[in-house]
Amino acid sequence: MRIDILTIFPELFESPFGHSMLKRAQNKGFIEIFIHNIRDYSTDKHKSVDDYAFGGGAGMVMMIQPIEDLILKLKLERDYDEIIYMTPDAKVFNQKEANRLSLSENIIILCGHYKGVDQRIRDHYITKEISIGDYVLTGGELAAAIVVDSIVRLIPGVLSDETSALTDSFQDNLLSPPVYTRPADHNGWKIPEVLLSGNDKLIDEWREKQSMELTMRVRPDLLDD
Ligand code: ADE
């Protein structure tokens, strides 16, 4: 899978993509991530990437030219499954969408800043818009890193224990049950007895019940789907 990220702050991706699982996934060749600086494509003599909003009002708008030139260059080189725009005014991302995107060959992710991008970029090039939640970040970069992380860990082979992504919270619209490790008794805080029983059936039933109860208590909306 190849992911091209379009941003005016490429440095913001150095840390999230330079460590742990995302780094390993790149080193092992499961994924290629290319970070493009939109400013490099500006034909303006000051390398501007934004301008005042027509109609007035506070905040600058990211202009069409550098983004369009960059998208057209990438599209000439290969086909893309999706051209995604990160923005708070979109449908909220979820596990189902992560599963779907993890099957892509090539995707572009455009990160917005200021008041966002000129609507005509959205109208003519963007095929999917993603919000990571009902709050506003300073830009789309951190949101893009979250989306990439959630996608990459689903690519077969990226996680060392292949089954672990399947038992994540949300994969069956349920939250994960509690987990425990040694010691079984920490100063009187004991783990549930059933987990020491060695009876897989009983343990599975206990986990399912815990999942259901937790979901009903903190995310009953998931059970409506
Ligand atoms: N950019 C700013 N806020 C965002 C959000 N909540 N989701 C995606 N991109 C954003």
**What string of pLDDT tens digits covers the 225 residues of the chain?**
999 999 999 999 999 999 988 999 999 999 999 999 999 999 999 999 999 999 999 999 999 999 999 999 999 999 999 999 999 999 999 999 999 999 999 999 999 988 999 999 999 999 999 999 999 999 999 999 999 999 999 998 888 765 577 678 777 889 999 999 999 999 999 999 999 999 999 999 999 999 999 999 999 999 987
Q: Whose CA is nearest to atom 5 of ligand 1?
A: 88
Alpha-helical segments (H) within the chain: 14-17, 20-27, 64-77, 95-101, 119-124, 141-152, 200-218
Before 183, cis peptide (omega within 30)? yes
Question: Within 6 Å (CB) of ligand 1, which residues are found?
Answer: 86-88, 112, 131-133, 135-137, 139-140, 143
Domain residue spans in the chain? 2-152, 169-224
Compute the distance between CA of residue 125 and CA of residue 130 in angstroms, rounded to an integer: 14
Q: Looking at the domain 169-224, which fold is it?
A: Trp Operon Repressor; Chain A (1.10.1270)
Exposed e or buried b for every residue in 89-103, given b needs 16+ CB within 10 A?
ebeebebebbeebbe
- Determine the distance separating the centroid of ligand 1 and the alpha carbon of 135, expressed in angstroms: 7
The SS3 assignment for 33 reads strand
Q: Whose CA is nearest to atom 6 of ligand 1?
A: 88
- Determine the distance separating the centroid of ligand 1 and the alpha carbon of 1, expressed in angstroms: 24
Q: Looking at the domain 2-152, which fold is it?
A: Alpha/beta knot (3.40.1280)
